Structure 1
Amino acid sequence: MFENFTKTLAGAAAIAVMAVTASADNWRGWNIHTDGYPNTVAMDKFAELLSEKTGGEITLQMFHGGTLGSQPDAVEQVRAGALEVGNFNLGPIGPIVAEANVVSLPFIFKDVPHMFRVLEGEGGAAIAAGMAAKGLTPLAWYDAGARSFYNGEKAINTPADVEGMKVRVMNNDLFTGMIAQLGGNPSPMAFAEVYQALKTGVVDGAENNWPSYESTGHFEVAGYYSLSQHLIIPECICVNTAAFDALSDDMKAAVTEAAQESATLQRELWAAREAASREAVEAGGVVVNEIADKGPFQSAMAPVYEAYFESNPDLRPLVELIQATE
């Protein structure tokens, strides 16, 4: 009799375990960055917090280093639900989500704190709604720094300083238009080719954030870094909209809280990484200059913005809202 009772208990326990396993959501996440990078550390923290705050009802297995495909591929996988989570830059999302593309407009943000004020306000809500409608619900915003100009000839303080300069940019009409309106010659090329192009004079300058400028060794062949901060494109923790919408309100709150706590960590780690990169290049003799007045640069972008509005007339109010945000 006792043996039968024991078997009954064991069977009930096995059924309970199977029920818990069946009810748990086992999510998979994509991240392009490698071990030790601020985003990688923060996404691992997100996975830890997700399990903790949902009582194990949602778990997340992270795949770092782009092992599940390129960013465009991963974006489509999250939209389709083949993956539940991705840490994405908004740049590649822009062609899919018109609202997200506004962050790629040159000089739209005054600085990084302004960008976060926008994202955490009405402007960010509009961008998030546009993304969610395309299958990507942003849970939190990560810092990806600001891109600034660097070259081997002189400090850049005004648009006139860019005139005649050959500047490498990403292959995007907004970015080539930016350089052209400053009087320079835009030179799109693969990122891997930039060091040699700077060294041999194929291009005079380029633009990127502090960690990229330092880690690639570009500072060795382009010793002037001017803080134009012309592009400030954030990253996000994005979840598949259908998966998120299927959660209870309590679960949605727990998932969002976990993401936002990881974003706090990511921003702290990013700030430390930027500071270390800046210290390293300044120790190497780089001349760094603040641009006291970005107004002339912003004014020079008027034709770029007008061309953008011709193709995206409905986005003018969102751009104006961002520009009006203090």
Structure 2
Amino acid sequence: MKHTILAGLFAGTALTGAATACEVTLRSSDTHPEGYPTVTAVEAMGEMIEERTDGRICVEVFHSAQLGQEKDTIEQTQFGVIDLNRVSMGPFNNIIEETQVVSLPYIFRSVDHMHKVMDGEIGDEILAAFEDHDLVGLAYYDGGSRSFYNSEKPIQSIDDLAGMKFRVMQSDIFVDMVDALGANATPMPYGEVYSSIQTGVIDGAENNWPSYESSGHYEVAKYYTLDQHLIVPEVLVMSKMSWDKLSPEDQEIVRQAAKESVPIMREAWQAREAESEQLVRDAGVEVITDIEKTPFMDAMKPVYDKHVTSEALKDLVSRIQATE
């Protein structure tokens, strides 16, 4: 892992000669490819920070998992090796209790509902929870709605999932969700999914339109079922060690730039989502939209019972559900 990180850092330095002129260069990690909305948003944030600090602070974005997969980069961010990190909420579930609630299946009624929750007081409370884990939560990005795709058959009901193997993030909630639907959950890094579907190690996975498309998974998994079981926000965090090295004034500049990158990300996301869906449909993927979600939602009761155990988490679930 160390060699991967060092190789990425040296590569980034070589490619970004301007970074050597900065007093502070913040290294930012993302598993998504260049041009992906989250990458574009962090690049825009970096431009704001550089402009507002008169070039003292720069941001280098290492996309395409150059610094490692999400689980590894979280640890590196906690240790201060990586300064900024865009990660889905899922990999934080086993680290930060509060993130479990917004990763629950069907907790959000729609993307608009998710925005209202995460842009408000509840979202701020969850961001604050990161500080106890050597991280500073800066902003939320969109992850779209996640749905199942596979190489075997169209999934039109919960019964069709029985016995199928699906890759999930390395998160207990994701594992339990798939198990509750009667399928077999197989946690594995994102980068291994394509070959695993291709070789039959797994039948499929679950993700949003842009990830399904940009990863090329649609090439080997030709059935996409819009069950939309998860609308999980993504989060931009900063290493607490890196944060503490900044002055209060620079901290405020970073925090404000992160917030201002959110609408940039959302606009790019909506465009990319539509583009990805069109590309996938044009490639001949069978998209299943006529699906009765109620049995899927009813099957989630044991997942909620297992993971929403404390009164604080139960209260958080109730407050999210009550948000109009």
TM-score norm. by structure 2 comes to: 0.78
Distance of aligned partners of 1:221 and 1:120 in 2 relative to their CA distance in 1, 3 Å threshold: same
Unaligned 5+ segments in structure 1 are: 1-23
Q: Give percent identity, aligned residues only.
A: 43
Match of 1:59 in 2: 57
Q: Does 1:304 align with 2:303?
A: yes
Provide structure 2 residue ranges, at least 5 long, that are not aligned to the other structure: 1-21
| 2:234 counterpart of 1:235 | yes
User: 2:304 aligned with 1:315, yes or no?
Assistant: no
Deviation sequence 1:72-125 (CA, Å, 0-9, x none): 454344434455433233222222211123233222222333222211122212
The equivalences for 1:112-191 within 5 A come to: 112-152=111-151, 154-189=153-188, 191=190
CA distance in 2, matches of 1:251, 1:170: 34
Mapped pair 1:325 → 2:318: no
Deviation at 1:27, TM superposition (A): 4.3
Q: Is the aligned partner of 1:273 residue 2:265?
A: no
Alignment of 1:26-41 (within 5 A): 26-32=24-30, 33-41=32-40
Change (3 A) 1:166 1:61: closer
Kept in 2: contact 1:31–1:87 (CA 8 A) = yes
1:211 aligns with 2:210: yes
Number of residue-to-residue matches in the alignment? 300
Provide, for residues 4-43 of structure 1, a one-character-per-residue CA deviation record: whole Å limited to 9, x for no partner.
xxxxxxxxxxxxxxxxxxxx96241221344333222222
C-alpha separation in 1, matches of 2:168 and 2:69: 21
Q: TM-score, normalised by structure 1?
A: 0.78
Query: 2:100 matched to which residue of 1?
Result: 101
Does the aligned pair in 2 maintain the 1:182–1:300 contact within 8 Å? yes
How far, CA to CA, are the matches of 1:62 and 1:78 in structure 2? Answer: 14
Q: Structure 2 vs 1, CA of residues 86 and 172 (structure 1 numbering), >3 Å: closer, same or farther?
A: closer
Cα distance in 1 between the residues matched to 2:194 and 2:67: 28
1:41/1:266 contact within 8 Å kept:
yes
C-alpha change, 1:218 and 1:92, in structure 2 (3 Å) is: closer
The residue aligned with 1:264 is 263
Report the CA distance between 1:284 and its aligned residue: 1.8
